[in-house]
Amino acid sequence: MANLINESEVRATWSPIIESATGINDAEKLAWMSTYCHNHKLYEDANIMSLDPSMNLAGMGAAKLPANPNSADLGSGDKAPSLLPLAMQVAAQTVGLDLVPVVPMAGPMGLLSYLDFTYEGGRLDNGVAPTYIKTSAVAAGTDVKVGESRIDGKNIIEVVDALAAGEANIAVRYADAELVKALEDHIPGFSGKADGSPYSRKEGESTNDKIMGLSLFSKSIAAETFQVAAAVTREQIQDLKQYGVDAVAQVESVLTNELTQSINQYILSEVRTLGTKNVTEAFTAGGFDITLPQASALTGGDTVASAHRSILTQVLAAANLIANRGRRGAGNFAVVGPQVATVLQSIAGFVANPMSNTFSQSAGAIYPLGSVAGINVYTDPTMAWGDYSVSVGRKGDGNGPGLVFMPYLMAESVQAIAEGTMAPKIAVKSRFALVEAGFHAETQYVQFSIDGAWTNLINLV
């Protein structure tokens, strides 16, 4: 399904509608929601809203749910309403989409392609040994180890020996061989002498240039599904009208909330998994440990507030670790539990060691909590009160490594009416892909936990 008008026209058409319907005025969110709304409207016009009236059922018929919302069989009493308002509400209320870049999909399948520069390498399976590889094995034969990966600690090896007769490719010699990516690792002697120093003029004139390889990688993407349904009785519809309540609208609201919470938790789960992997790799590569130690008793000039304040320092350390390992910028968001959120709110105005922040100290602040030193902090209300884990990450632009959310249909709703009770049943589903884009997506996230010695952050003794 291709966009029929250009991007600026899409934004000009949909931005005012989205802002009026949802109250969103953030330029970045309006941009991707405009693209999504355009794709969704094309989907509706082509598959649902343009159905010929002769295709609709003349009567109730047998009680059944629609077999396929894209086909003429719309089930018993099913209607073809505009689904876009519901989809816009799901997109607007899904806070997890503030943590990852969003790239709308025009169809249920696609390819995500990305480029990377490699050190004198191409394919690993083409019968020709690349000059440099990364592997957990030691150098074989006359191959030379020239360094270690700053990402995962693997050996970077210069392949000197040509492939032998029994070696169809370099993977025969090194089972886990991979190309050395120039945007992640660095080989000091590549552009100069082996010791990292530059050539003299004479050496430069007589030395051949080493070549950076350009490789294109593709990943196939398929939309996955969250779905949920609910039913109401005719009595509920009738009686709730006496109180000015639209039962069907309330059911749709509950279903929308269920979808948004499912998507939020799915995104957060992936962020935490990648963050844990990054910390493990960082420890292996450089002995880094981000666990925050704290004795159970305060000593010297320590105060409860100064101990709480150290949490912010640790969040900043995690953000800078992302900048160090990912080389694309520091972390710009953090997700915490309710007790850690309370602590951060309590020290928002801590005078002894002040830090610029916009933390709200009102009792109702949940999503988002505020920001500190350029890091937006969010509270996950589903975390246990005693869960001291902290997730820090960087939301990019969708062109670098990290998680990318690719919605196909944010919310698709069908409504059927049971023949016996004449009560409506509403089913809603969301179809999207959450993709690990680029190489080493984990470098954009850090997961750590405050040391267990803090049995109660609010009552340190």
Nearest CA among 104, 15, 435, 429 for reference residue 258: 429
For the packed helices 338-346 and 304-326, what is the interaxial angle rounded to 10 degrees?
110
Full-prediction pTM beyond 0.85? no
**Is residue 343 exposed (0-12), middle (13-18) or buried (19+ Cβ within 10 Å)?**
buried
pLDDT at 79: 39
Please say whether the beta carbons of 426 and 246 come within 8 A: no
Q: Which residues of the chain have pLDDT under 70?
A: 1-5, 40, 42-93, 95, 286-304, 347-367, 420, 452-461
For the packed helices 247-286 and 304-326, what is the interaxial angle rounded to 10 degrees?
80
pLDDT at 362: 46
pLDDT at 392: 94
Please say whether the beta carbons of 178 and 135 come within 8 A: yes
In whole angstroms, what separates CA 134 from the centre of its chain?
27
- In the sheet where 333-336 sits, what is the strand order? 370-372, 375-379, 333-336, 389-393, 445-449
pLDDT at 393: 94
pLDDT at 411: 78
Residues 342, 339: Cα–Cα separation, whole Å: 5
